[in-house]
Structure 1
């Protein structure tokens, strides 16, 4: 997918297109990494590229469950699980979390395609303090905008972590992923020899 989204025929396609674009940015930050590198935490934070992929995948899946009104574990009971979603575990591979992320993305596309009205209500959970008390529901549109924002925020984190690992930056990585031709001002990323 090119760095800039093409014109879209409608709002739904536009929202899904921007979400797809942010997923691609997240996945580009993983390009060429080993599992060891994907687990590494090279900055002052405890974030890793692999852990961030795992987190955005879990977050997107959870929000789509909310859209479908699938009951979820109370947040307080699953805080350890939440924190584990920021770590690529020793039994996990980057390849496996990327494959899971692709499955989550396909599910999101399918669910959203089946919703007639983006104004459909999504109940606001009351089990965490950062959700508002003065409203009872968001819309599916709000959920999609939130997923775009959440994915973009963490794709930026992944960019910084990746650059800390080996100096690779977003545009050369994207150029390598998508096979863009080398120019005098942009060279696709290549692994160090």
Structure 2
């Protein structure tokens, strides 16, 4: 029987920001769990015509965390370039480095979230001419991360049969 990685969703219900952050954290954890225990070759393996791999998803999400929380929310410089938002990882970059980079991006994002005054805090850098709220940003990043966690779940099942969120 294949390994099942199922865990319950967060049970936090103490306030809007706490709930939103808990669900984003849960989705981030799901992505990292899909990468855990796989070889470099498995992490890089593209099993769909688009070329998507688990490592490519992790790479993309690290760049997205920095772009949205570090740049737009906190007002920091835009790091990297828009190619970093692609789901392609340089073949000579070690998988462990990509995963550690995602963890570091999450930590930096969490610091930016903690520094905000609440869900109504507006981004420092507008998107499309509008300074969206942290509420919007958390919803956006949770859906983005959940979508890619689902992709990673399917890829992981194809690799070794492990299933579950």
Q: TM-score band, normalised by the shorter chain?
A: 0.7 to 0.9
1:149 aligns with 2:143: yes
Give the equivalent residue in structure 2 for 1:179: none
Q: Deviations over 1:120-143 (max 9, x none)?
A: 2224334xxxxxxxx622111100
* Structure 1 counterpart SS, 2:60: helix
1:82 aligns with 2:85: yes
Deviation at 1:71, TM superposition (A): 4.1
Q: Deviations over 1:128-165 (max 9, x none)?
A: xxxxxxx6221111001111000000000111111122
The structure with the larger Rg is 1
Give the equivalent residue in structure 2 for 1:32: 37
Stretches of structure 2 lacking an aligned partner (at least 5 in a row) = 1-5
1:114-193 alignment, distance < 5 Å: 114-122=115-123, 123-126=125-128, 136-170=130-164
The answer (yes or no) to whether the contact 1:119–1:140 under 8 Å persists in 2 is yes
Stretches of structure 1 lacking an aligned partner (at least 5 in a row) = 127-134, 172-193
TM-score of the two chains, using structure 2 as the length reference: 0.85
Tell me the C-alpha RMSD between the 2 structures: 2.2
TM-score of the two chains, using structure 1 as the length reference: 0.73
Q: Distance in 2 between matches of 1:94 and 1:170?
A: 22
User: Structure with the greater relative contact order (CA < 8 A, sep ≥ 6): 1 or 2?
Assistant: 2
User: What is the count of residue pairs matched by the alignment?
Assistant: 158
